[in-house]
Structure 1
């Protein structure tokens, strides 16, 4: 792939595309009750729409993202967005729940544009700008994740559950048209057949130590993140606070500050490298676990601790992702999409495991037990990080010493 000078306009378009693509995964969560009443099904049945989208997204990461190393990016991204737009239109016109669930699978599978854009953007800029670019793209994804629920909830209450799907379809198809006209042409770095591309992600995970440790860092940190946010609803609606479910949504808006932090984290990665940034982020996770523990106290003090702790947790998790992806994408320029497939799959598996562990820990040990789980996961990643970085330095010093001797 040829390195081009990426304009601010192009970077903004790609960041918006990432936000819209990620938002397609999350906005159905806010309108699930509206779907239940609109299609006259139970809330549990309507929740299948959210599950189908998430399952489709996981399948899309495994089956489609590796093709980013095999196909020219412009037609590939435009096709993905066009298929997502068709899926959103079908969902918005769905006559019954089974049709909506099927359309949601299509939306999930094809709305993987953000995972294709990240490797593409890294290849379009100079090495000393890659961290900053990834930080901006991640900022767009975070914005999409946060705004999608608010947008779909408000629009759904006003115009019904179909409106968010139809408006999202128009936005996605508009972005497909814009990218078809503005995205620079690229040459696919790999000519491997499709089955070999799918197998390559597993092979890279087996053979690349830096990929494995980046996956471990993000899987453990995302597991702690998911455990906290899964159990916050239990804490806030329980006897310690007695708040409504809306309080969890309001607290989630604290994460908007992360949009401002990830571009700065990217610039730090460009200047100092990913390892120092990872170290600070993992220490930040430990501090956030300690702060969040005070949330069990309830009252104003406890709520303040929850706000500060979740903010620190969000910033550390997302900034660590910038550092991890910078390390991963530097391994094999011709296999960035396959590397990203392995990395993101491990991260999502970690998040799923964290939600499961968090619920069970909360049932046995309460909120303090969840905070202890976050700290334990951070210590696991931090120990691996110290062994990798300082062990490597000791080996280099030893080689130099023996070489001089």
Structure 2
């Protein structure tokens, strides 16, 4: 696991993850372009998240059975074709269907993470995972800015076309650059799927990680789905590029995740999770001021989304450090269970965020964040208390 390979894999994660998030920034443009309500167009972002959850469950376990080079490059090629289909969609239903396909096959980052964890030494695992996550964060942030700006300039179809070109180019590069590896399992596909469920049932540390990330990631997607509606509403009257510009502020997260990885290696995942869940609740208080509009509201949105981004991504690193230490021979299956739960939480958060905004406005979205992240904090504190009591005995 040399530095050049880590950087290449990090770039690949960024390009792949960007395909999941740029639809959040262009949903108002999709609504205008296809002549549908804004809340209906938001279903495009929800479909991608839901498809991603399905893809994680159905495809990521193959990382323990199929050589990574073949699996990753094949899925990238299919994703590129799905992006081309989305760009050509004549109406909302075909676009939603293509978005679900994109999400399903775009599970490159969850495949790369256990692959890299296996190549890295135990002492570097957290740092390598943090670097890969930095690439994912860069893709997440830049894709929103890229999608909003390019969509405003050339129409909502342009981001899909450019993304398709990037994905297909990366597929060719990885076909030449990825090392050949032997898969650790010879289990048949149905057994691989069943193993992910069995691990979720038998590994309490995996269940803890799944719950924490589902709650915090649900908060994250609720905010980013709702903030596009807030910024383009009469409160601010801004366009889609404003959503992308707000996302770029979170670039500081790219620096924080490697630090979080090193702290998880040194202090343990629980300490990092505790800081992250408290940070998520704090972000809700900052974000709530955004409902007043004006300069003060914009500043609060910038600060709130920055804190939220750092907390969610740093918590992701801590949770993956925890689960990859459980069963080295089943890292893809562990990551399948973990990421499926996380993105089901993200899909639910996106859906609930739209509904909360429709019924209660931006304060409703902020209240939803407190409810979800508060549940994660309560579960973490209870677990830490039990561990402390067990240690005392």
User: Do these two structures clear the TM 0.5 threshold for a shared fold by scoring above it?
Assistant: yes
Q: CA deviation at 1:48?
A: 7.0
Greater shift, 67-76 or 301-310, is seen at 301-310
Q: Partner of 2:185: helix, strand, or coil?
A: coil
- Mapping for residues 324-363 of structure 1, pairs under 5 Å: 324-362=319-357
Looking at structure 2, the residues matched to 309 and 63 of structure 1 have their Cα atoms a distance apart, in angstroms, of 35
Structure 1 match to 2:389 = 394
> Is residue 171 of structure 2 the alignment partner of residue 171 of structure 1?
no
Larger radius of gyration: 1
Looking at structure 2, the residues matched to 112 and 316 of structure 1 have their Cα atoms a distance apart, in angstroms, of 22
Which of 39, 42, 51 aligns to 2:35? It is 42
Structure 1 match to 2:225 = 230
Q: 1:156 to 1:386 in 2, by over 3 A?
A: closer
Q: 1:42 to 1:362 in 2, by over 3 A?
A: closer
Q: Partner of 2:237: helix, strand, or coil?
A: coil
> Is residue 72 of structure 2 the alignment partner of residue 57 of structure 1?
no
Greater shift, 54-63 or 258-267, is seen at 54-63
Q: 1:363 to 1:261 in 2, by over 3 A?
A: same
- Deviations along 1:23-61, one digit per CA (max 9) or x if unpaired, are 2233455566777888xx534697776565444333321
Q: 1:114 to 1:59 in 2, by over 3 A?
A: same
Q: CA deviation at 1:70?
A: 0.9
Structure 1 match to 2:192 = 197
> Is residue 237 of structure 2 the alignment partner of residue 243 of structure 1?
yes
> Is residue 315 of structure 2 the alignment partner of residue 320 of structure 1?
yes
Q: CA deviation at 1:231?
A: 3.3
Looking at structure 1, the residues matched to 158 and 184 of structure 2 have their Cα atoms a distance apart, in angstroms, of 40
- Mapping for residues 2-401 of structure 1, pairs under 5 Å: 6-28=1-23, 41-43=34-36, 53-89=48-84, 94=88, 96=90, 104-155=99-150, 163-233=158-228, 235-236=230-231, 241-246=235-240, 247-362=242-357, 366-398=361-393
Contact 1:254 1:307 in 2 (8 A): yes
Contact 2:18 2:143 in 1 (8 A): yes
Q: Partner of 1:187: helix, strand, or coil?
A: coil
Q: Partner of 2:18: helix, strand, or coil?
A: helix
Looking at structure 2, the residues matched to 303 and 194 of structure 1 have their Cα atoms a distance apart, in angstroms, of 49
Q: Partner of 2:57: helix, strand, or coil?
A: helix
Greater shift, 356-365 or 376-385, is seen at 356-365
Q: 1:128 to 1:87 in 2, by over 3 A?
A: same
In the superposition, the TM-score normalised over structure 1's length comes to 0.84
Q: CA deviation at 1:365?
A: 5.3
Q: CA deviation at 1:22?
A: 1.4
Contact 1:81 1:113 in 2 (8 A): yes
Question: 5+ unaligned residues in a row in structure 2: which ranges?
Answer: none
- Deviations along 1:355-381, one digit per CA (max 9) or x if unpaired, are 344445456655445434323333321
Contact 1:58 1:109 in 2 (8 A): yes
Q: How many residues align?
A: 389
Q: CA deviation at 1:11?
A: 0.6
Greater shift, 139-148 or 321-330, is seen at 139-148
Q: CA deviation at 1:302?
A: 3.4
Looking at structure 1, the residues matched to 371 and 141 of structure 2 have their Cα atoms a distance apart, in angstroms, of 28
Looking at structure 1, the residues matched to 229 and 95 of structure 2 have their Cα atoms a distance apart, in angstroms, of 30
Greater shift, 20-29 or 196-205, is seen at 20-29
Contact 1:255 1:311 in 2 (8 A): yes
In the superposition, the TM-score normalised over structure 2's length comes to 0.87
- Indicate the RMSD between aligned Cα atoms, in angstroms: 3.0
Q: 1:63 to 1:301 in 2, by over 3 A?
A: same
